[in-house]
Structure 1
Amino acid sequence: MEKEKSTAVHAAQHLCDLQEKLLERKAALFMGLKVKSILATQERPQVEVFKQSVHTFYEGCISYLQEWSSSFTDMKCFSWTLLEDPPGWDEVESSLRCVSSKLPNIHINETELFDEVTSVKTYTSDKIGLWDRDIKPADERWAEIFTHFKHQNVPFKNVAVICQFAMCLPGTNASVERIFSLMNNTWTNERNRLGLETLKALLITRVNFDGCSEFHARLVDNHSLLKKIHSNMKYA
């Protein structure tokens, strides 16, 4: 779960999938063939004791997962944002209810949201197979959708609010620890006079760009930014 770009929605889904697998194994009292072959040579009382131990083991695992994943309960209704299937309104409505309760000051127009979800559903119906083949992560799928909608003047502001809420929550603290590590490597004793804004800019650049080539490509196409770099504005 500690992969890059893993969100709380991913974590909730992984935990739910793992819990379902364990429940299936518990119901079948799953044991490997090698274990079963060894049990076949044992006395019945010993076999029953071992089976009870296996059952207890599965019970303990499931109980631990249920307790550990309780903090992710609210995130299950956002699983549609992973775009593994075209979204349905019932799923989105559950997310809307959650966002409205967590962020009461954020207004989302339900009528507009329904139309936006319909547009997303139409666009994704032919895209999901291609995305799955290319193993395209959810954030890139949404970026493609919103870019297309922007060029085609298709509204998406309400569904974007829900997506931002779902994807801004990290699934683990690995990404935060990674940034602290980058900060320590950047803000060294030799560079202890770095200003906070400069440090922030360096970290944003290093975290959000895949190497210097991508950063360079973004720069050369941004003529207004290049103009500022070559002027005194970079010192402002």
Structure 2
Amino acid sequence: MASIKNYLLNWVGLREKKPRRHQNVFTRLKESLEKEHLIGVGCPAHIMHNSLRNGIELMKLDIESIILKIFNYFSVYTVRTEALKEFCNYVEINYQPLLRHSKTRWLSLFPCVERVLKLYPALKEYFLKAYLWFTHSLMSIYQANLAKVEEEHNSVLEISKILQSVLHMLRNRRINNFLPLSVREHLRDNDEAESISNEFISVYKACEDYLMEWITPLEDFKGFEWMTLLKENENLKYDDLVSCIEFLRIRGVEIDDVKLHDQFCNLISFLKSKSNEDEAYFDLKLHEQWTIYFKSVKNIECFSELLKICEFYFCISAHNANVERVFSLINTQWSKERNRLSVQSVKSIILTQYNFKNMSCEDFYNYLLKNKELLSKIGSSAKYD
């Protein structure tokens, strides 16, 4: 009993202890009792615990800390938990509460990891939300302007104006280090908030640099900027046309500059009258504005050189969206079920669809009823295009 008492006193530090290599209870008890025949098997649970810890600690990623942080992130915030539930519904998995891991009980790590894996799709979406919100904000710039770019009758200058607008917005966001509030909110409790923010700002710069590089070819058409018939046209001068004339001459389009000067003066008078009488004119597409002007002039000699410039300019395709639309129409008609259609038949169908795309079925029906010649061809046995 005395030996056991002395051991316990040593254990709580009331007696001077000698330094020992092993400090577990069995070693101390064995040394205090001086009983060599005491047998100890150790604790297999702790052996496995320590084995696992030693192995896991060699990993570069601290899984234990991640599990603890994920649990702590949601444990006391009902709003975050509800948001996680929504993400679970979004990815179609059943929500289950995250489990708490105890550093002193490594057996608790397995069920915690298992639970995180079950919720991983939702957790991944949740913690990627800052990236998703940023991407959504960034793409909103492109989405609205892409719709404008792909409009059917856009000209090169109109496309250039849209791209310059996108470039301007990207530059302003980069200069102001702009991040949407939705992004800032999700970065508020993130240890890497500053790093992620810098990453987002660098995205603006990359988008800006790429856009600047690829819109450079459009600078060749700066000489045609006078053709955008703006309401504020009092500053428009004939000298603005000189670079355009030289551009066309290099490409084999001869412009009589004497005639062009007089025709230009007539154009300015027309635009000033429209500024006073018909402001809606300047809201039309560029090709529509020029069409109205040409129709308003009775004698072709009054716009012959302007017409040459317009014929060249509007022949330039501003984008390939129209071509892609035609390919889509062809794929719709030339399907596996209709793979024996001849090229001529497909061509005729596509021409009809494309040229009458703005006409409803009822309008097309009425159009056919009024066209006697076309009705007779439809009723005949002869082939027609």
Global fold match (TM > 0.5) = yes
**C-alpha distance in 2 between matches for 1:53 and 1:147:** 54
Question: Following superposition of structure 1 onto structure 2, how do residues 1-236 of structure 1 map, counting pairs within 5 Å?
Answer: 1-32=149-180, 47=194, 52-85=198-231, 86=233, 87-101=236-250, 103-104=251-252, 106-127=253-274, 129-132=279-282, 135-149=283-297, 151=298, 155-183=302-330, 189=338, 192-193=341-342, 195=344, 199=347, 206-209=353-356, 210-211=358-359, 213=363
Higher mean C-alpha deviation, range 181-190 or range 21-30: 181-190
Aligned residues: 222
**Any gaps of 5 or more consecutive residues in structure 2?**
1-148, 378-382
Q: 1:179 to 1:38 in 2, by over 3 A?
A: closer
**Any gaps of 5 or more consecutive residues in structure 1?**
none
- TM superposition shift of 1:157: 1.6
SS of residue paired to 1:170: coil
- TM superposition shift of 1:109: 0.8
- TM superposition shift of 1:76: 3.4
**C-alpha distance in 1 between matches for 2:266 and 2:365:** 32
Q: Which ranges of 4 or more aligned residues in structure 1 deviate by more than 6 Å? A: 36-43, 214-217
- TM superposition shift of 1:123: 0.8
SS of residue paired to 2:319: coil
- TM superposition shift of 1:185: 5.2
**C-alpha distance in 1 between matches for 2:365 and 2:271:** 30
**C-alpha distance in 2 between matches for 1:9 and 1:215:** 38
Given that residues 77 and 94 in structure 1 are in contact (C-alpha distance below 8 angstroms), is that contact kept between their aligned partners in structure 2?
yes
Q: 1:109 to 1:36 in 2, by over 3 A?
A: same
Cα deviations by residue, 1:173-225 (Å, 9 ceiling, x for unpaired): 110122233445567748835648x946x6556544543858987xx79xxx9
**C-alpha distance in 2 between matches for 1:61 and 1:37:** 24
- TM superposition shift of 1:146: 0.5
* CA root-mean-square deviation: 4.3
**C-alpha distance in 1 between matches for 2:292 and 2:365:** 20
**C-alpha distance in 1 between matches for 2:328 and 2:186:** 49
Q: Which has the larger radius of gyration?
A: 2
What percent identity do the matched residue pairs reach?
24
**C-alpha distance in 2 between matches for 1:158 and 1:214:** 38
- TM superposition shift of 1:73: 2.2
Higher-RCO chain (CA-CA 8 Å, sequence separation at least 6):
1
Q: Which residue of 1 aligns with 2:45?
A: none
**C-alpha distance in 1 between matches for 2:262 and 2:365:** 36
- TM superposition shift of 1:63: 0.4
- TM-score after normalising by structure 2: 0.46
